Amino acid sequence: MRSDHSENRKMASLCPISNFLSDPFPAAEEIACNQDLITLILIRLPVKSLLRFKCVSKNWLYLISNPQFSTRHRSLASAGIILCPTPGLIGHLSHHCRNSEQPFTSLNFIGDSAGVKVLQSINGLVLCCSYHEPGKRRSYYVCNPSTRQFLMLPPPNADGCDSCTTIFCVNLAFDPSKSPHYQVICVQNCSSSSTAYGNYQIEIYSSETGTWRLSGSPFVVPSDMVFENGVLWNGTIHWISPKGATLCFDIDQERLGSMPSPPSHERWDKRRFRYFGESGGHLHLVEIYGPSTTQFQVFEMETDYSRWIPKYDIDIAAIVDELPGMVREYLEPLEYGSRFYAFVLLFIQEIEGGPFLLLHIPGKFISYNIKDRSIKEICGFGPKSTETNTSALQIGCFNAYQFVETLASV
């Protein structure tokens, strides 16, 4: 008890209010110096405000810089969507139509002369790279857009691969509930190999050590494997090729594996659209065949990787009826008809009140509640990146990323 009173007196001596507030009500100063109460207030504020409030006093600087404060703040932060279809501009979507300030509108604080594009967003940290310039290698960055901190990653240096090594993908892994540190997984091709399917090598960067290291031996995969669209789920990165081949990399175990192929029996070249992503701790897959279909299934991977199970049966016919702007006609009829429906599935969101489908249709972003089949237009904030043309689809599923503010350091 004595130590508690001593700590309270120490905190009170650092109370910022007592330094500049002349309040006729003693209770006001007492409340202002109550650390628990101040914490409950501060963890509900945006990161921009918290960065300013660090300057209020040593007490507030210590409080806001505490890793436990960062964890509590993130647990209350509402997740949104960032849209990156245009170089240099970033827009935001929110389920809550409030005139709140955007966390950020660009990544120009990085200062790369070529400009940067977003590759991935994980728990508030963003992985990005510079745009290609002839004769120069791309630069890769991990940044926290909310705090405007960034780190340029050193180039990977795989042994046994020459200087012309091609980087096929980099993936960010960051789970602040387990560690304040993050990892970057790089898949590159050892160009000295002449095998038909390629000879690949994984390297891992650790923010804790600040260095890259090799992981395992070189391996081969089918030549059509799409490494750029890897999905992080349960500490493992997952990839799927257009023809259904799969590859997984368990980051902690540093072990390669596979998972069941997509369950569709349709010809892969007839597929119009594939969604592959994670939400609410679940790995989801959607494949849509034919341009005029309104019905499809959302599949979910079992946690033991035994199979894909049908999770939701979707029919967006009601959306088409309510929003006829989705209907388009081909100039020349094709084998499956002349009509198609213009929409892109951006995300499956398993959040409170849901689950939802986040769809982009010409001129709008809408949220479709899978349970009650209600439709709601989603608010967009930001510059030209969210000002959609009423007759075109300007946002693809690879231009949208889930984002939540964080105080995490890079």
The domain ranges of the chain are 26-65, 67-404
pLDDT for 390 equals: 44
Q: Tokens in use for 20? A: 């500049």
- CATH fold of 67-404 reads Neuraminidase (2.120.10)
pLDDT in tens, 198-212: 689 999 999 999 999
Average confidence (pLDDT) over 149-166: 76
d(CA 173, CA 206): 10
pLDDT of residue 9: 45
**Model confidence over 318-369: pLDDT tens digits?**
898 888 888 877 666 555 556 778 888 899 988 878 899 999 888 889 999 9
